[in-house]
Amino acid sequence: MRFGCAFVVVAFVLCSCGNPNTKKSKEVSDVALVQASAAKTSPNINFPIYDFDGMASLLSKKNDSTYIVNFWATWCKPCIEELPNFERTFAEQKDNKVALILVSLDMPSMWEKRLVPFVEKNDLQGEVVILDDPKMNEWIPKVNQNWGGGIPATLIYNKSGRSFFEQSMTYEQLNEELDKFIN
Amino acid sequence: MKTLKIFGFMAAIFLMAAFTYNSLEADGYAIGDYATDFSLKNIDGEMVSLSDFETAKGFLVIFTCNTCPYAVAYEDRIIALNEKYKSKGVPVIAINPNNPAVKSGDSFEAMKERAKEKGFTFPYLFDDGQKVYPQYGATRTPHVFLLEKTEKGNQVRYIGAIDDNYQDASQVEDKYVENAVDAMLAGKEIEITTTRAIGCSIKV
């Protein structure tokens, strides 16, 4: 019988993480983002283009918001497949001081031809920025010490904590992890 | 009986936890490990193993594919690596780890075509069933494993990227793989033994 009890307890613990946070916080203003200082621009590309140093401030903002930073590219199939989960969570949680930054690792030759049309076609609501920095071995460990460089990869952070995931995330996984920050 | 059940349950939880951990942390070789040999089909239809290369001093095992933009950006540099080091006893062995059922552009037929187009001078092997790449711990394409042939087996000496600039070969500052092979052949310590790079995840 103890087995049964233990199972119920564990099941309860496992399930209880999945509840989306319903607590409302005050209107968010500072979430509506975040231009780091060092952005380049390009005439036909309506996203800021950063090297890693230019973008670093987006990865360590110390305010009341929680940031979901997703590293992706249009050529990365699992990235494209998980994007709707991020957009859905962002739509549901943005009034909860949650911001979504979509860091595109598309190559320069793809920005105008693929990235811009993709973002328009899918009407992405997350803040798209371009990271153009070939010195990957230098900046990858600065995002997370354990990141091997695979994408999709996602950083969730706020002023008091950080989590990093080198994997695809389902809607449920994303919410479960996000809940640890906004509860 | 009860104790047994509880024990079993604890074991199950333990396994679940272990499994979760594994899915987050990639397994595979660390520097100094001995790499497994394999027998994989080359684009010419022949089976290829590391043990076939009796006089080799080592190998550049490179997981790569036809379709990943990074792999494509590095094709010419992979050919150049083979040109430079095959004669010195360290040939390139390229392996496509992608499952063509998921990525049709990486089928065996497509591999043959691409190799012909680009004039690959090295074996380009198909990881049929996607069984070899997980043993190495390759996570992306292109992903290089430099092996040194020793009495005890093929020892892993370098894991990572080819160099530090995928975009522009002329802007490269650190030729990680060349530096590693040169040091290995000179019997010197390899300065940088692991590097990271964005790459395409392996399609399984």
Q: Is A75 near chain B, with CB under 8 Å? A: yes
Give the Cβ contact number of residue B66 at 10 Å. Answer: 23
Nearest to A110 by CA among A84, A132, A127: A132
- Distance separating alpha carbons of residues B111 and B42, to the nearest angstrom: 10
Q: Which domains does chain A have, with CATH numbers?
A: 30-182 (3.40.30.10)
Measure the CA–CA gap between B145 and B97, rounded to whole angstroms.
14
- Pick B89 or B139 by higher pLDDT: B89
Rounded Cα distance, B166 and B162, in Å: 9
How does pLDDT run across B166-186, given as a tens digit for each residue? 988 999 999 999 999 999 999
Question: What is chain A's mean pLDDT, rounded?
Answer: 84
ipTM of the complex: 0.73
What's this model's pTM, rounded to 2 decimal places? 0.78
Give the mutation candidate from B144, B193, B196 for the A interface (greatest A CB count, under 10 A).
B196
Contacts of A139 in chain B (CB under 8 A): none
- Token pair belonging to A69: 């930073």
- The percent of residues in chain A predicted with pLDDT above 90, rounded, is 68
Residues B147-162 have pLDDT tens digits of: 999 999 999 999 999 9
What CA dihedral angle connects B66, B135, B100 and A124, to 10 degrees?
-80
**Cβ-based contacts of A140 with chain B (< 8 Å):** 196-198
Say what the pLDDT of residue A11 is: 43
Cβ contacts below 8 Å, chain A against chain B, sum to 79
Using an 8 Å CB-CB cutoff, list chain A residues near B141. none
Task: Please tell me which residue, A148 or A97, carries the higher pLDDT value.
Answer: A97
How much is the pLDDT for A40?
75
The verdict on a CB contact (< 8 Å) between B9 and A6 is yes
Query: Where does the pLDDT of residue B9 fall: very low under 50, low under 70, confident under 90, or very high at 90 and above?
Result: low
Angle at A64 between CA A59 and CA A70, to 5 degrees: 35
Mean pLDDT of B70-79: 96
Domains of chain B are: 28-201 (3.40.30.10)
pLDDT classification of B2: cutoffs 50, 70, 90: low
Round the CA-based radius of gyration of chain A to a whole number and report it: 18
Q: How far is CA A85 from the centre of its chain?
A: 11
Q: What is the 3-state secondary structure (H, E, C) of chain A?
A: CHHHHHHHHHHHHHHHCCCCCCCCCCCCCCCCCCCCCCCEEECCEEEEEECHHHHHHHHCCCCCCEEEEEEECCCCHHHHHHHHHHHHHHHHHHHHCEEEEEEECCCHHHHHHHHHHHHHHCCCCCEEEEECCCCHHHHHHHHCCCCCCECCEEEEEECCEEEEECCCCCHHHHHHHHHHHHC
A159's tokens: 């002023």
Mean pLDDT of B91-118: 96
- A165 touching B (Cβ < 8 Å): yes
How close B92 comes to chain A (CA, Å)?
22
How many CA atoms lie less than 13 Å away from B76 in the CB half-sphere? Answer: 6
pLDDT digits (tens, 9 = 90+) for A42-54: 778 889 999 999 9
Angle at B137 between CA B139 and CA B203, to 5 degrees: 35
Lowest mean per-residue pLDDT among A2-16, A129-143, B92-106, B166-180: A2-16
**How many whole angstroms separate alpha carbon B201 and alpha carbon A148?**
11
CA distance A79 to chain B (A): 10
- The Cβ of residue A105 has, within 10 Å, a number of other Cβ atoms equal to 23
Nearest alpha carbon to residue A151 among A171, A122, A126, A131: A131
User: How many whole angstroms separate alpha carbon B144 and alpha carbon A3?
Assistant: 48
Distance CA B199, CA A152 (A): 10
Q: Is the peptide bond before A152 cis (omega within 30 degrees of 0)?
A: yes
Task: Write the burial class of residue B117 (CB in 10 Å: 0-12 exposed, 13-18 middle, 19+ buried).
Answer: exposed
pLDDT score for A3: 47
Sign of torsion over alpha carbons B55, B58, B61, B62:
negative
